[in-house]
Structure 1
Amino acid sequence: MTGSFEKAFQVQVKNPLNRAREAVFVLVPESELRRNQNAFNAQAFAVFDGATEIPSQYNGKDAENTGIALVLDQMAAGETKTLTIRYNSSGAIANNYPKRTQAELSKKVGGRWENRKYIGGDFQNIDSLRVPSELTDHSYYLRYEGPGWESDKVGYRFYLDWRNAVDAFGKTTPEMVLQKVGLDGYDSYHKQQDWGMDVLKVGKALGVGSLAIFDQGKAVRVEKTDSTYSKIPQNGPVYSSIQTDYYGWQLAGLKLNVQSQLSIHAGTRLTHHQLRITDGTPQNIATGLTKDKNANMVSDKGEAGKRFGYLATYGAQSLNTPPDNIGIAVLFDPADFIAFSDQDPLSHVVQLKPKNGRAHYYFLAAWEKEGIGIKTEQEFKDYLARTAEELANPVQVNVTR
């Protein structure tokens, strides 16, 4: 136990599926905390399942998932768990839980810009960055070229320049690894290291789950903006997130302001991409996957209340020599589905319909060389089917006094 607590309330978490599930993300929303527990103190609390303390954190700076976040490693079929949240009305306590997620952004300091490349200097982690006008691809200014995030299963990054594409890091260990990526030879992660490697070919394609709009037969990434600002709202033991604001995204005669939040929780390969469009109304939000001749593609429109839709590929499409098998996928609410498209020569694409300025989807990568991972195409398809069903049937969270 972290300490003694003077107050408590309970939260019921129900698994609506008639099967067990793993790595269950639970969010007790800020609105519920304030409605039911006016004296709740986010600086001094702990969550218990009976006598067992469950690692948790308070997401106070998150744009989308504010409240108490925790992960239940297992839930049985149809199970309802009653969790107890104990807290003090004042003061603070330190919960030193094992770190199972991470988000970071690292730039060079102490050097100088020269012809859009950054010369000299040393990397320093930062909380936020207004992207400098000099930044382009291979400027050697940002460590692994943009923000990174990871769970104990997989890591990701996206290029914080005109490319704005998402790439994946396969991991051979559940330990956090991003803090040492890109320090040895800058792009040494393109070769397998003791922790894993950059496993995906991206180029001008969508990589895995990159943000785009489908226009004139192709997916157009966020290439031209007035300015871009990125920050790390949460870097916690069970949940981490990255928020990026694109001001004046220009394409197809539109000029959009878009806020992107990428988040991951412990025990999962899934990244949740949540979007707010505050200025402008695009006809679609598109995302998708890099096309690779060595990978088989499958797709499903999904069915409301039963399973999310998905677009996925599996095959020997890694950067390794010879290539390893990787499964990559994007998953979406079937209510948002517009169409799949194979017109783009570089990417498999799905178009989604924004509603009231909002859109969201999930994406994932699964590398065959994970320590305990998915080794075959059939295992990947089975995992994808389970994940699609779980996303359509989230656990039900109810705060009680």
Structure 2
Amino acid sequence: MVCFRLAPVPGFGLLLLCLVLGAVSSYALELNLTDSENATCLYAKWQMNFTIRYETTDKHNKTVTISDLGAAKYNGSSCGDDQNGPKIAVQFGSGFSWIVNFTEEETSSYSIDSISFSYNTNDSTTFPDAKEKGVFTVSDRVAVRVPLNDIFRCNSLLTLGKNDVVQHYWDVHVQAFVQNGTVSTKEFLCDKDKTLTTVVPIIPTTVPSPTPTPSPKEKPEVGSYSVVNSNGTCLLATMGLQLNITHDKVASVININPNTTNFTGSCHPQTALLRLSSSSIKYLDFVFAVKNENRFYLKEVNVSMYLVNGSVFSIANNNLSYWDAPLGSSYMCNKEQTVSVSGAFQINTFDLRVQPFNVMEGKYSTAEECSADSDLNFLIPVAVGVALGFLIIVVFISYMIGRRKSRTGYQSV
């Protein structure tokens, strides 16, 4: 725990800001504000990331995903006073800031009032070729009302989208007006968590029908995708993609058609992004990262898409570990592979080859094959050897039979 001493605040004396980072994962944030009596007055724990789309100087659209919040600061966070409500303020990266405001509605409830997010395109590392330079802010009215003595909880993914920014939140726990310095154990659930946890008792009168399983689909068409920056092609991907979705107990399989799919992305020294989109897919993000300074892997997948019934399906997972290969090479797997993003969303890949870093002259480097392909390559010579051995045995037996017949024909009378 790290504590910062802030300036005196009317009604609260001298505040101590205590921060605990990484309690849930490397991208989880946990904030504990205490007053001069060392009593907790605001508590929050949550995870979040941001996807920003911007226009480049050559009039193309690029996207960047901001998920590394490990060096976050909390300057300006406050438990509030008689004039202002509580506020959580977070600063991270180069010019990113995020603020959520709370308002006491009455003596029995408070509201998570509004959320604002600011980013600075003057940051040449994150936005190396942005056409418009400056600080941009998006604000969203949330207005979620919570009982005063409850802690708000939402483990499900929450998505806010406005202008060119998509915000994701999950594993959220927050109590803005902590009573008597003790964080409540009574939870107020968001609507998505209520749907997941509420169980309606059913008295069956007939044998229940099983959940329908999707009919197998044919192998998807293989598409070629790339990302270009000021230095040329920086990311290459070739793959057939099949999405497996379970929503409201209905399973479906969707093949991505590369002929109707748009692709953009961005490349940085430690991360690279490939974003796919179409008329039904708002975005499907593949985020790659460098580990140990000598290998790359698929670290994150984010998806938001429109289903047939008109609802929006959104999932994010930034703790994956797939497609691992050395830097300077590509990763290849011709056999079908499954990327398990969540229990409700998996991606099947076919004829996969990716290289998100160190692309030279727009061409793939030597590939590191997946174990499934390696096993296949090992079995082929074994099978050929067995076949040749069998053929030799057949020839030998035929020779012995022929020789025996020849000897029989020359016996004396």
Q: TM-score, normalised by structure 2?
A: 0.24
Which of structures 1 and 2 has the larger relative contact order (alpha carbons within 8 angstroms, sep 6+)?
Answer: 1
Q: TM-score, normalised by structure 1?
A: 0.25
Larger radius of gyration: 2
